[in-house]
Structure 1
């Protein structure tokens, strides 16, 4: 089974999550390609897709949203898993984001694709990488800075993809 793990990442945190997912799936005898959505020329030739994006103001990065919209017909014919990364702090990332769901502009697309699973991972905010405006936003919303990604949860999710893919 050939899988594409593709993502949109502004500062690299989501890219690192995608790489870990790709490595975990590669260990399970899948042929895996990991690349940013901007580098995907075609979705033909893949048997399944893992697609992720960092969250900004609760929404996916535009390039990832466009990827879903542009490729929704093909994606709907294959197993798809979606992940988002963003919230920082202790506790369940869904609780931190007040029960986050896909923004309305993507919910119809996601419904058509019918993903096998949708998950929200903790993210990483590195103030050294932020521009002035982003630093002000982080301060105003009192976001917790630091790396809150849980690699055990991320690897476990990749293993769950393996189990689901084997039942396809």
Structure 2
């Protein structure tokens, strides 16, 4: 595949970055040129044939940097195939079910409607208590959130392979 693909992400502790890297690796296996970058470092979106954009989710919201990227680049994103992913729920089972059907932040839905992503998905997240500050640990305890790594690497790989198939088919 002779395509240039940007995988841009917003992360707080690195779990979403690791998902983005895995997506990039799967896409590279097709021969595509893939750049994986934090949204703050992602430039020249118009030079890419396709974009995958992901963010960590906190209380149903994407990270501020991802929202800003979406707003600034919405015209460029609307002109090419785009996929969105979120990383966040920390529980066993289907991440969308864990989020009560949530797939994308409601406040960004009008922008998503303008862009017209090919797919929007949610992957399980990862909470490492050792990386949290005291306030965050107290919140996790208060809301009884599960800690651990709930990312499904096979599901991530399959989703990325589906993107590759769409771009080559």
How does the TM-score come out when normalised to structure 2?
Answer: 0.96
Other-structure match for 1:88: 90
Aligned pairs for 1:1-168 within 5 A: 1-167=3-169
**Aligned pairs, number:** 167
1:104 Cα offset (Å): 2.5
Unmatched segments (≥5 aa) in structure 2: none
100-109 vs 7-16, greater mean Cα deviation: 100-109
Q: Where in structure 1 are there 5+ consecutive unaligned residues?
A: none
1:61-120 per-residue CA deviation (whole Å, 9 max, x = no partner) reads: 000011011111110010000000000111111111111132232000001110001000
Backbone CA RMSD of aligned residues: 0.8
TM-score, normalised to structure 1's length? 0.97
Shift in Å, 1:143: 0.8
Contact 2:61 2:105 in 1 (8 A): yes
Q: Work out whether residues 103 and 122 of structure 2, in 8 Å CA contact, stay in contact via their aligned partners in 1.
A: no
**Cα deviation, residue 49, structure 1:** 0.1
How far 1:164 moved relative to its partner?
A: 1.3
Which 4+ residue blocks in structure 1 deviate beyond 3 angstroms?
none
